[in-house]
Amino acid sequence: MQKPEIMAPAGNRESFLAALAAGADAVYAGLKHFSARMQADNFSLSDLARLAELARSKGVRTYVAMNALLKPGDLEPAGRLIDRLARQVRPEALIVQDPGLPALARQAGYNGEIHISTLANLSHPAGLRTAQGLGAARVVLPRELDLDEIKAMDAACPDGLDLEVFVHGALCFSVSGRCYWSSLLGGKSGLRGRCVQPCRRLYRQGGPKGKPARMFSCQDLGLDVLTKTLLGLPHLRAWKIEGRKKGPHYVFYTVKAYCLLRDHAADPVARKTALDLLDQALGRPRSHSVFLPQRPFSPVDPGTDTGSGRMAGTLKSGPGGQKGGRIELYFRPWFPLLAGDLLRIGYEDEPGHQTVRLGRGAPKGGRIDLPRAKGLKAAAGTKVFLIDRREPELAAQLAALDRELAATRAREKGPSTFRPALPPAAGPAGKRYITLHRNQPKGRLSGEIGLWLEKRSLAEAGAKAAARVWWWLPPVIWPNEEQKYADLARLAQKAGARSFVLNAPWQIGLLDQTQGLRLVAGPFCNLANALALEQVRALGFSAAVASPELDREAALALAGQSPLPLGLVIRGMWPLCVSRYQVKVKTDQPIASPKGEVCWAHRIGGNLWLFPGWELDLTEQARDLEQAGYSLFVTMREPWPKDVPRTRRPGTFNWDLKLL
């Protein structure tokens, strides 16, 4: 039985060294550009080159995450970065979400492995061969899969392709690659590593009297002892620990724990030691999430504290310092604290939260004063979390590795002159206006009709209309839904359907045959550059709808570079996110954000869709889009709940913003 590798996160030098000290088999890291964790410190090329060389000397692989969505203007700088990365760092793999990045990497001379990020949303077995055809050596599975679904993915995995699964770390409320929440609220795109984590915030239902709660904030994933059930799956080659924004303490303890759980899965003493290590790792409260199919568990519990780090106490106010007199803030720790411990005062999503490095330690129940004179903005009652520490033993190991690193030399290479070779542009096609409905609309309608491919909509359309409808597949299809949608696509074709909009490139594997079909890569494919569009063209798509996240400059530039006729969603209900988790919210009722923004949730099949309280509306920009070369214009309709007020606000998404 081949043991899966333990993959450790590293957002800075100390965390990388902690992964080596703990015995990780691979370390994944990001650079300062084109990473899906841009809030981490990340690495310069020269720093990462030395660390990767040190890792290689110890038999540890280095993977670099370049898993951001690329805009038209990103291709040249991203290609130059890959060119330099290949020559200086020589990583064993690149982790990517953008379907154009494998082709860009090969153009730039990178010959290592390509791993498909979970952000690419390859969520069902039939898509695995498509990924392999694009040059992937590994696919990172979604965190929402249960054990049976992971086994189904493994059974369907072709030889020569590996799978990777998350075993520990933070969970997003949304399905990866299907979250536009942060971007819709201000141009900071999760697909480009800039997410401001709106799901972690307080929301309320029931009007002003409703109690604010963390309705969408997930506990961490922690598969711990359940990882034993993953041993022996032939294609599952990696256990991944999330946490590129975490410190070395977290990395060291989690890696140590999962090495024990892998290497001594049958030893009860080792399992208990591993659980103790995970309890000390300073993560959020954790759960097994949906991993056990017979015991599905929602990782979202509004009544559970979901602040990261280990809660150390609660601020009180009283006379401060040895002299007394002035009222200061202090707390009595619930466990011993060490000199150098890093504390966070308050939750990450609350205004005024701060981090404080302790100058001296304190015993359990001792007193730690936090003078307001140092700019502390918190109030009595604020919770205090321990988020990182340097135990003497860990500090000594990091110092020894630091000395090795100082003596390590990496290849020094000059600047890159790389320029990407782009495919020829297709130019505009005949204009089409499509209105997408959830169900067959009543009455006479103008323009062309799109319907979500479901049993009901297919029956309502009937054989006469099936050939005229644009049939849309969902933005995410789970393994237990794969056969359903393959059968529906077959029935639709039998009824005369010829036009299909697929919302992940991998969904092409659901179609028995594509000859004679008009296949469109839908907006949830997150296509935003010419090389990504060229890859879906090579798969057999004849048109594409670009990502609605794009700002004005990027959207207009893309049309002139596209090798396919190009479309855009210009009006209607674009979701904040799509989630698989069960949460305690009332559907089709207003949900208010901390800033008074209204959204609402609606269950569609096995997923929860969260919609903003306003429509996307780019109709005033349609003329500019036509002149740029767009030829397919989509309106997305959803039934508006009668109890949800329509908010009057600009619905132009990122059009007038600079997409970050």
**What digits encode the pLDDT tens for the residues 418-450?**
999 999 999 878 899 999 999 888 766 567 999
Distance CA 412, CA 434 (A): 53
Distance CA 430, CA 621 (A): 18
Q: What is the 3-state secondary structure (H, E, C) of 227-251?
A: HHHHCCCCCEEEEEECCCCCCHHHH
Distance CA 282, CA 253 (A): 9
Distance CA 13, CA 29 (A): 10
Q: Tokens 């084109």: give the residue.
A: 34
Question: In 296-447, which ranges are continuous DSSP H helix?
Answer: 392-406
Mean pLDDT estimate for the chain: 92
Average pLDDT (488-514) is 95
Pull the structure tokens for residue 288: 């097994």
495 DSSP assignment: T
Residue 164: helix, strand or coil by DSSP? strand
Average pLDDT (494-515) is 94
**What digits encode the pLDDT tens for the residues 58-86?**
999 999 999 999 999 999 999 999 999 99
What is the reported pTM?
A: 0.94
**What digits encode the pLDDT tens for the residues 453-481?**
999 999 988 888 899 999 999 999 999 99
pLDDT given at position 523: 98
Residue 588: helix, strand or coil by DSSP? coil
Distance CA 345, CA 537 (A): 51
Distance CA 341, CA 128 (A): 45
Write the Ramachandran bin of 135: left for phi over 0, alpha for psi from -120 to 50, otherwise beta. left
pLDDT given at position 237: 98
Share of the chain above pLDDT 70, in %: 97
Pull the structure tokens for residue 221: 């994933």
DSSP assignment of 47-75 equals HHHHHHHHHHHTT-EEEEE--SPPPGGGH
**Closest C-alpha to 142, from 511, 463, 607, 494:** 607
Q: Tokens 């359903």: give the residue.
A: 484
Distance CA 470, CA 519 (A): 9
Distance CA 57, CA 198 (A): 41
Distance CA 312, CA 320 (A): 19
**What digits encode the pLDDT tens for the residues 370-416?**
876 566 778 889 999 999 888 889 999 999 999 999 999 887 778 99
pLDDT given at position 372: 64
User: Within a 10 A sphere around the Cβ of 470, how many other Cβ atoms?
Assistant: 23
Residue 18: helix, strand or coil by DSSP? helix
Q: What does DSSP say about strands 327-331 and 286-287: parallel, antiparallel, or unpaired? A: unpaired
Provide the residue type at 385 as one letter: F
